[in-house]
Structure 1
Amino acid sequence: MISAVFENEHFFIADKPSGVLTTPSRFAEEDGRRCLGKELQDQLGFQIYPVHRLDFEVSGLVVFAKNADSHRAANGWFEKKQVHKSYQALTTSQSFVHIPADVENNREAISLVPGQGYAWESRQLRGKRRAYESSQGKPCLTHAHFLGTNPAGFLQWDLEPVTGRPHQLRFDLSRHGFPIVGDILYGSSVECAPNTIALRSYRIDFQSCAQAAKFGLPSKIEVIAL
């Protein structure tokens, strides 16, 4: 049984666990992994529409529309960047050892101060497995705030992807020398639980969305962060 963080006649917002797909993969018939969208559709008994997605390894808030009208409206909000999503991540201390010597990177040392904010811009392309920087890529902007160090010694980050490119946050932290804990694909040397990385979507803000109130949405929805 999938519990709703928020539900009304227009939307179902769930807290996706890590290690679960948001929507079926391209090889759905052969893919044995759990899929939140499919399970939710079976549970509700009617077609639902994914508004956005989280990576398989990432946990947190995911929005599904219950009808074509709400799906159309929500797609417009996301396209116009009126929806503001916030994530938290845990990383190790800055190091560039995971970046090959032949990969262009300025390897700039960052003196971290709790509360300090950064605006990270790049041009990213998505390959078969991961994102990489390219002059031919799409422009990306991430707002990152360093929160401090947690009791386990990991660095805590609050992140807002202004653009929504695939793997944007994972790549941005990695290229600045801070691979996410458990994210082996982007250079982490620290393992998490299977199919899990320390990245969580914990808040969605609808305050700037045109007619969000018409669809019964609150100004924001939030769950416990990392």
Structure 2
Amino acid sequence: MVRKPAGLLAVPGRGEDKADCLIRRLQQHWPDALTVHRLDQPTSGLMVYARGAQAQRRLSQAFAERRVAKRYEAVVAGRLDGPGPGEAPACIDWPLSADWPRRPRQKVDPVQGKPALTRWRQLGPAPGGGTRVELLPETGRSHQLRVHLAALGHPILGDALYGDPAGAPRLLLHATRLELEHPQRGERCIWDDPAPF
């Protein structure tokens, strides 16, 4: 389990300027480290990496079968009213697809989109008139949380693709919790990392 800083790629991109990434940094210390899932470059927070191919297969299968609980915190623009802490979360159930003319953007697409489900709660007001929210994605589509909140009319602050990048010095989205079964021992493991904003 590692904490990815905002602005660092999880895996290498195309071109020399996109070679520095978290997996390459990890492999300098643990050569058998392998990627299991990703976070967008501007997103910070918890990521799990596998040590070896067998662990990677088991962890990847757990993600594919939705046996990994993920929790994020974000600050969104405006006042977003909804269920609070301890209440049943609200649900955004809007299919997503690639917005090909504007890649890498994604879009809500009820006709050709793939299922995308995000549960959420508001955690209270944030400085500057925003709202702090807890996000519990059931699926893991590209940019899912960012697109869903922007489509609600409350983009995540600092989002250069779906909102106003001037709203914050960085994307205010952080992976705060991962809960999964250990690939060798089988025990349930929980990791928490509070949002740095």
Normalising by the smaller structure, the TM-score range is 0.7 to 0.9
* Corresponding residue number in structure 2 for 1:178: 154
Contact 1:84 1:205 in 2 (8 A): yes
Contact 1:58 1:197 in 2 (8 A): yes
- TM-score (normalizing by structure 2): 0.88
Q: Call closer, same or farther: CA 1:218–1:112 in 2, change over 3 Å.
A: closer
1:214 and 1:21 map into 2 onto residues whose CA distance is 27
Q: Identity over the aligned pairs, expressed in percent? A: 32
Task: Check if 1:15 corresponds to 2:27.
Answer: no
Task: Check if 1:215 corresponds to 2:185.
Answer: yes
Once the two structures are TM-superposed, the CA of residue 216 in structure 1 deviates from its matched residue by: 6.7
Task: Check if 1:126 corresponds to 2:98.
Answer: yes
Contact 2:81 2:122 in 1 (8 A): no
Contact 1:84 1:204 in 2 (8 A): yes
Q: Call closer, same or farther: CA 1:217–1:20 in 2, change over 3 Å.
A: farther
* Corresponding residue number in structure 2 for 1:100: none
Once the two structures are TM-superposed, the CA of residue 187 in structure 1 deviates from its matched residue by: 2.0
1:151 and 1:179 map into 2 onto residues whose CA distance is 15
* Corresponding residue number in structure 2 for 1:205: 179
Q: Call closer, same or farther: CA 1:69–1:150 in 2, change over 3 Å.
A: same
2:98 and 2:122 map into 1 onto residues whose CA distance is 26
Once the two structures are TM-superposed, the CA of residue 133 in structure 1 deviates from its matched residue by: 1.5
Task: Check if 1:224 corresponds to 2:191.
Answer: no
* Corresponding residue number in structure 1 for 2:66: 81
Once the two structures are TM-superposed, the CA of residue 152 in structure 1 deviates from its matched residue by: 4.2
Q: Structure 2 unaligned runs (5+)? A: none
1:74 and 1:16 map into 2 onto residues whose CA distance is 18
Question: Which letter maps to 2:91?
Answer: A
Larger Rg: 1
Q: 1:169 aligned to 145, 149, 152, which one?
A: 145
Note the aligned Cα RMSD (angstroms): 2.0
SS in 1 for 2:194: coil
Q: Call closer, same or farther: CA 1:189–1:63 in 2, change over 3 Å.
A: closer
* Corresponding residue number in structure 1 for 2:113: 137
1:34 and 1:172 map into 2 onto residues whose CA distance is 29
How many residues are paired up?
Answer: 190
Question: Which letter maps to 1:132?
Answer: K
Once the two structures are TM-superposed, the CA of residue 189 in structure 1 deviates from its matched residue by: 5.7
1:187 and 1:151 map into 2 onto residues whose CA distance is 17
Question: Which letter maps to 1:16?
Answer: K
Range with bigger deviation, 142-151 or 114-123 = 114-123
Q: Call closer, same or farther: CA 1:111–1:149 in 2, change over 3 Å.
A: closer
Q: Call closer, same or farther: CA 1:88–1:141 in 2, change over 3 Å.
A: same
Greater helix share, structure number? 2
* Corresponding residue number in structure 2 for 1:70: 55
Question: Which letter maps to 1:168?
Answer: Q
